[in-house]
Chain A
Amino acid sequence: MKSYSVVGKSVERTDARVKVTGSARYAGDLIAPGMLHGKLLRSPLAHARILNIDTSRARALPGVRAVITGKDFPGIPFGTRPDIRDQLPMPITKVHHFGEGVTAVAAVDEDTAEEALDLITVDYEELPVVLTAQDALAPNAPFVNEFKNSNIAYFSDFVFGDVDKGFKEAEYIKEETFSSQRVSVGFIEPHACLAEVDATGRILLQGSKQSPYITWRHMCRAMDIPLSKVRMVNPFVGGGFSGKHDPFDVDFSAVKLAQITGKPVKIVLNYDEVLAAYRQRNAMDAKLKIGVKKNGVITALRAENILEGGPISGIGPFNIYFFGAFLNVPYKIPAIEYHGKLVYSNRAPCGTVRGQEIVLAQFALDSLLHMVGEDLGIDPVEMRLINAVTDNWRCANGLVVDVSGLPQCIEKSAQKIGWKESRKSRPAGRGIGFSCASHPSGTRLGGHFGSSVMLKLLEDGKVIVTHGATELGQGANTVFCQMAAEELGLPFEDILQGVSDSDTAILDCGMFGDRATYWDGNATIIAARDLKKQLAEIVAGDLDADPDELEFENRRVFVRGNPKWGMDWLLAVRKAYYEQGAPLYGRGNWAATDIDIVDWKTGKGNLAHGLDFIASAIDIEVDKETGQVTLLRSVHGDDAGQPINPAMLEGQVNGGSAHMAGHALFEESLYDEKGRILNHTWRDYKQPTALDVPESIVEHVHTHDPYGPFGAKGAGEASSCSTIAAIANGIYDAIGVRIKDLPLTPEKILQALKTKEGK
């Protein structure tokens, strides 16, 4: 295996010091001369017709510069898919959920803006609310979304392989239902942005955006503005986890208010607003039926799934699609039938959360697998090893697994957690839960889907990396700098991170699906090779060599096989600048053009390269008196190909797992019967803290992906997908009760114990 100088090393993050010292500037920190402050008035009702909005008293308040409503926008709907455009910048005819922004104010300071909100009167006609999937699908249910004459926002029906044959061949069949709650996304920084309009009318939007390209495109459509009239610059972003892809009323309002006033407008939400009215994970109701041989080999799977997703579809169609399509991994299932529905409701809009709805699919599938193993007397570790996908496996839907380290992941996590020892004896109330998962390194969408990177060679020999991905805290900037340094033969310190600016970078289609390391990483390597090629052509004559013979290593350019016959990198750079007048850019772009574009009709195709794998084992203690669950220790056998930065990779794995521990155990957005959210403050909505996170160990299973940069795969979402089932299985292992309805609260555990004991 090739040894690397920078890749594979846990170098310090490019953003570590500015973040931990508090000097990183996020959207809320931005200031512009003459800046106004914006605030939004929110709906107190979950579903109501807007009869009238009176803003006259607010407009008359000294210090108020503008007030807008939905009618100030062109009324053009937008949406993730062109066949489901069901969103407006702000509502015009009716409100769809509690806390929806109805009007926005710009004023000279925040207090004045707040005061102005109190002076706005909105007359509503209350409408019946749709809260659950059952409500949405009931006969005569009121329609939630005015652009759709149905509460079914989207559906998928897939059949992969011969399902009937698979069930006929099965020697044991089990069917179970699983459900999951609404949870908040969980980023730290609330939505915020600063919008400015220059003298030509061109807009500059600096926001806390996960996928600035998506915001850019949607915003231009919904506001009827050419793309070239909007510039997107991303400041530091305090986490995204799929909750910051789209433009929100925050962004639309800031831009519109800036257009009207001619002044910069900043809007920063408080977190109560985020918890009440912005993206959450869908609630799920799923039924899975599995057929297996007596030896544990899976023969068929049938799955039904309904996601309740709030009043817009958003990226919900992807959630439905992914749930079904990725039932094909991480286990060998020769035949799968899937029926999924996304339904509208009057709860907060959903996007998704880290791991997308593979998280929910895997919770259901891996819980069921454990139950089947239990019924057949097959050890949980063995059950997973029997069915784990292996190298060059073609799934029932056509997805090809090039390299699978899953069997080693299972063995490593079992060994490290002490599985065999625990079967001999363990304290009362203690158990170990297992689960596996896989996640792709970015799928191929229609439209713009490639990644591009630019390397600018500076006169002092340093190189600036500019890319279209977004640094959300996941470490993308650092790994691209590592890859550029490795390929250019420079130390990590010589690579600098440029600004994320749509004027200078070609923005990626979005930051999702574990795609950045893989796609932009490959583009980084190509850009570095382009830069080397240009520099080699400039210096080859001085070295009496062919440009193709030159190598770059240790800050030098030299003839292959003769390191002494060369010149320092800096001298080569100066020759380019001073002798050739050729300041250089290296350009690279990459896209997996050999994989299939997503087929929404069939779900079939080779959807992605770089499937990363994980096997999670969690040691759990359950207090049978209180029902309290304590996560003591977790071990994640993780195959992310070649780790680019092992410490950051471990951070991603542990972060994904910690994140989903909250989803598994206690997070839930609660609503009353009128659709009003009940726990939209940090006092009432609990997320995991350091006190809830177990000791975590990541066991790297080092594989080499044939398409990944330096053999790397994506990372960060697989552990989200494995954790919930591991916890559910661990609770069962500890106290013998199975809970299939998330979250796994102490109340449910105590009730299940009482039922088990016949009380």
Chain B
Amino acid sequence: MNSHAAEMVRAPVRPSTAPSALPRLAVDGVSKRWGRRRSLLVLDDVDVELGASQLVAIVGENGAGKTTFLRILSGLICPDRGTVRVDGLDPERNRREYQRRIGFLAAASTGLYARLNVRDHIDFWARIALVPPERRAVRCLETMAVFDLLEIASRRVDRISMGQRQRLRLAMAFLHEPNLLLLDEPYNSLDGRSAALLASALRASRSRGGTAVVCYALGQEPTGDLAFDTTYILQDGRLRQT
């Protein structure tokens, strides 16, 4: 990390939204079925409530519905039944404010433009995430520094490694300082050092009130120095605390 970037990282981050009696995340009776005849019940009346500064893991076997659940929480897809609220906001009625509060990392390695470089991605996301212009440059530098992307900032995405791509995708999830991070299999392709960077970024987010939900497959416990407040297991469409 160069000295300028280090200085940027030390700069105070934007305070979280004012303390509120509302839960950070409130999921009430969410159900979702897939399949041609909606025969496959993936989520069955799921309830969960999380406060600020919580770090939560959701584990489950492949196909258990973790990705579906995170996609519903992110507002990408709608549940068949039930409601989701983030800081009391509805993903449809308060779409823009809702999305300002969400940082989403999709599973797999998609969502990047092969012909753009790392800096282009970060800048692009900062703009469509509507980060205020006076904070944009600082936030871009801070986030690239946090995920150790400064050295590869000018390299095209199709010319960097899978682990570097994953760090870039993580940086885009954290960039706009969301209140709720939804990370689907974030440890994919990350080495030990990168996992430690992620753990550090999650701790920093928590220190300013951010809550994070991290999904990973059973038996693939994350590496890195990170302790979850709560771990849930998703099985047979139900979410239960371990």
Does A associate with B in a complex? no
Residues of chain B having any CB pair with chain A under 8 Å:
none
A residues with a Cβ closer than 8 A to B are none
